[in-house]
């Protein structure tokens, strides 16, 4: 894994689902203060089952295989994630990843720590309360 530096978040990435008007995350993506960008090589693990789930991942480019390891060398495929998708959410409630994720080709990925997701949720909640309590 090689750390990268990007000036924009997924909302600016033209091949991203974040860029579509239907995705509510496009409105908040640029408000994320803590995020890191990494390049993963082909067959490199992003995370393994049982590791602490400390955030979520957004795919800039590439192809990610999300799977449950088993006795075979391939494991049980759960999902193939492509550019613009978010993954890792399902494991946050458990505190540990419930599956593994591996790059199937060189992939650029944004990591958003759980602490930043909590900050964003608090910000959205307080903004919503402020709007609902204002009188027109």
Angstrom distance (rounded) from CA 71 to CA 3: 32
Angstrom distance (rounded) from CA 41 to CA 50: 22
Q: Which of 23-32, 38-47, 73-82, 98-107 has the lowest mean pLDDT?
A: 23-32
68 closest CA partner among 84, 47, 89, 39: 47
pLDDT at 29 (0 to 100): 59
- Render pLDDT for 49-97 as a digit per residue (tens, 0 to 9): 999 999 989 888 899 999 998 877 677 888 999 988 889 988 888 899 9
pLDDT at 32 (0 to 100): 64
pLDDT at 86 (0 to 100): 85
- Token pair for residue 38? 């990494």
Domains, the chain, in order of start with CATH, read 2-133 (2.60.120.10)
Per-residue pLDDT, averaged over 98-106, amounts to 95
User: 0.75 exceeded by the pTM?
Assistant: no
Angstrom distance (rounded) from CA 26 to CA 11: 5
Residue 30 has pLDDT above 90, yes or no: no
């Amino acid at each position: 894994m090689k750390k990268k530096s990007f000036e924009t978040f997924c909302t600016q990435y033209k091949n991203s689902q974040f860029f579509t008007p239907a995705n509510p995350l496009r409105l908040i993506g640029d408000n994320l203060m803590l995020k890191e960008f990494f390049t993963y090589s082909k067959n490199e693990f992003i995370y393994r089952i049982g590791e602490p789930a400390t955030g979520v991942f957004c795919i800039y480019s590439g192809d990610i295989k999300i799977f449950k390891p088993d006795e075979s060398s391939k494991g049980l495929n759960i999902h193939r994630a492509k550019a613009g998708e978010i993954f890792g959410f399902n494991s946050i409630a458990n505190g540990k990843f419930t599956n593994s994720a591996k790059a199937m080709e060189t992939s650029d990925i944004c990591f958003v720590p759980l602490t930043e997701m909590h900050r964003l949720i608090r910000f959205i909640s307080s903004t919503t309360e402020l709007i609902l309590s204002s009188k027109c």
